[in-house]
A and B are shown apart, each in its own frame.
Chain A
Amino acid sequence: MIVAEQKAIDEILRSVRDYDDIAVVSCGSCVTVCMAGGEKEAAGMASIIKLAAMEEGRNVNVRTANPVRQCDMEFFDSPEFGEDGVAGASCVLSLGCGAGVQFMAERYPDKAVIPALNTTFLGVNRDLGYWTEMCQGCGNCILEKTGGVCPVARCGKSHFNGPCGGSSKGRCEIDPDIDCAWQMIYDRLKRIGQLHRLYEINEARDWSASRDGGPRSHKRDDVTADRGAGDE
């Protein structure tokens, strides 16, 4: 999932201070699961904004909307996005990930859209309240070679041919709380009998499938064709 965390409340309050009718929009997908931007968090955020305004003697209207996803046009026309909902507010405080915030800005081209979260990584939920990064969306997956552990996302130097000289007792040189990705790769490959893979020299990589190739998009003709057929 996409993992995010809420910005410091002071920063959020500063960002919305100039507006008197604020739509707080949650997102029902990833950020709900990682407990940063779901319905519950949006309700809490709305209360905090109201309270802070009251303390300053300002009158602020706060609305909330809880779409299934902010990142999908399918939900753009839902009633809560209409004039009685988000469209009537003077600004949008999005509790979505960076993609959600930007799609809200496209949905409301005349409104200020403010992020309430910092989007951090593609990761997993390891324990209650504990998420770790697993993937960088580099566009060219090699996990079959590395025992299912990603050196791009999980090695501090994105090494492709083994650990740097800073790997010590399974830990990364950057921080002893970080596991060395290459120690994990080694342990996994050993366990599944594929240590021979470590002898291959992985040559310089083509990064054009990642962000380095410019902003990415996909178009699936098969899906577009299906839609056409459905319309008939």
Chain B
Amino acid sequence: MSSAGESTNLQRVLEAGFFSFSAEIGPPMNGSADHVRGKARKLRGFVDAANITDNQTAIVRMSSIAAGYIAQSEGVEAVVQMTCRDRNRIAIQSDLLGAYALGLRNVLALSGDHQSFGNHPGSKNVYDIDSIQLVKGLNDMIEKGVFMGGQKMKEPVSFFLGASANPFADPEELQLIRLEKKIRAGARFVQTQGIYDIDKFKAWMEKARMRGLHEKAFFLAGIVVNRSAKSIEMTALVPGMDIPERLIQRMRDAENKEDEGVSIALELIGELRGIEGVAGVHVMAIGWESVIPAIAERAGFLPRPSFDRQT
């Protein structure tokens, strides 16, 4: 079975050697298509793709596939996030067949935040499969044309498949082994946790390079943009985040918090661009999508590369 299929925009940008710039759209806690459209319109033309989060922090929101479809109808290519928390392998495959039918071709496979963090802490989690098994299963669908249950698919599907990595989680060696497994399982791009501690990230990236991982997958470095002292303090509480105290203090001391948040993000992006093996940045400005164009411009990312696409 061939993996042929039209490349996604994000894939083309990366494969052509451009430094990618992507952002994030958090779907609303309601069914408003206009809400998603509004967010997508702010990003159109400024990003190569936007991640559509899948009930992030286990808070119920519009489905990432539905919101991704709306975003694409507004001209912003979607990266559908798919977690293992809420769906078993039957539901995951079914939903992704639906996503494919709707023209959504980038998938980011994730474990998902534990439900105890969200607004339904009494819910059951699924974890029928973990994120590596998800990558492996989807890659088998793409490369071998088989379902996770082994049955042959009549028509193949094709996705540009990604996985996540947290350079700040423990144990470091095992996290790297796990990343290596994700890439071996079929992840073509890797999106990292939000980076604040650039020295720690540099050291981690060097270890990833020593394993040759940067040659097997595109590394998209994650950046979180904060607009207030409270926002960076809250971010610091997210499991797996590692923020140097001096950056938190800078936000506390700043007269104009929003400007300071953008300055910090731009400084980090500047550093990340110089690190071997970093193929792009992924900016997470949840609830503050309107800042993305300014960051794209001030970081010198504009105009974004465009390709003739047949749709």
Contacts and interface: CB of A to CB of B under 8 A. Distances in A.
Interface of A: 156-170, 173-175, 180, 182-183, 186-187, 198-199, 201-205, 207
Given A161-B181, A173-B239, A201-B181, A186 B129 contact: no
A182 B113 CA distance: 17
A166 B89 contact: no
A152 to B, nearest CB: 9
B240 A168 contact: yes
Given A183-B170, A201-B136, A165 B130 contact: no
Contact of B239 (A168, A186, A198, A201): A168
Contacts of A164: 111, 131, 169
A198 B175 CA distance: 10
29 contacts: A156-B114, A157-B85, A157-B125, A157-B127, A161-B130, A161-B132, A161-B133, A161-B178, A162-B132, A162-B174, A162-B181, A163-B174, A163-B175, A163-B178, A165-B164, A165-B166, A167-B169, A167-B170, A168-B239, A173-B240, A174-B114, A187-B171, A198-B174, A198-B177, A201-B181, A204-B128, A204-B133, A204-B136, A205-B129
B193 interface: yes
B285 interface: no
Contacts of A207: 128
A interface, by DSSP: helix, strand, loop or mixed?
loop
Give the contact-size bracket for chain B: 35 or more
Interface in B170-204: 170-171, 173-175, 177-178, 180-181, 184-185, 193
The CB with the most chain B CB atoms within 10 A, among A159, A175, A183, A199, is that of A159
A209 to B, nearest CB: 14
Interface string B152-178: 000000000000111001110111011
Contact of B132 (A165, A166, A201): A201
B125 to A, nearest CB: 7
A202 B177 contact: no
A186 B177 CA distance: 11
The CB with the most chain A CB atoms within 10 A, among B148, B171, B177, is that of B171
Contacts of B185: 201
A207 B127 CA distance: 11
A199 B170 contact: no
B249 interface: no
B239 A199 contact: no
A162 B137 CA distance: 17
A159 B113 CA distance: 13
Contact of A166 (B84, B133, B137, B240): B240
Interface in B112-154: 112-114, 116, 125, 127-133, 136-137, 148
Contacts of A204: 89, 128-129, 133, 136-137, 148
A173 B132 contact: no
A165 to B, nearest CB: 3
Contacts of A203: 133, 136
Contacts of B112: 157
Given A163-B171, A165-B111, A169-B170, 11 more contacts: A162-B175, A164-B169, A165-B169, A165-B240, A167-B171, A168-B169, A186-B173, A201-B136, A204-B136, A204-B137, A205-B129
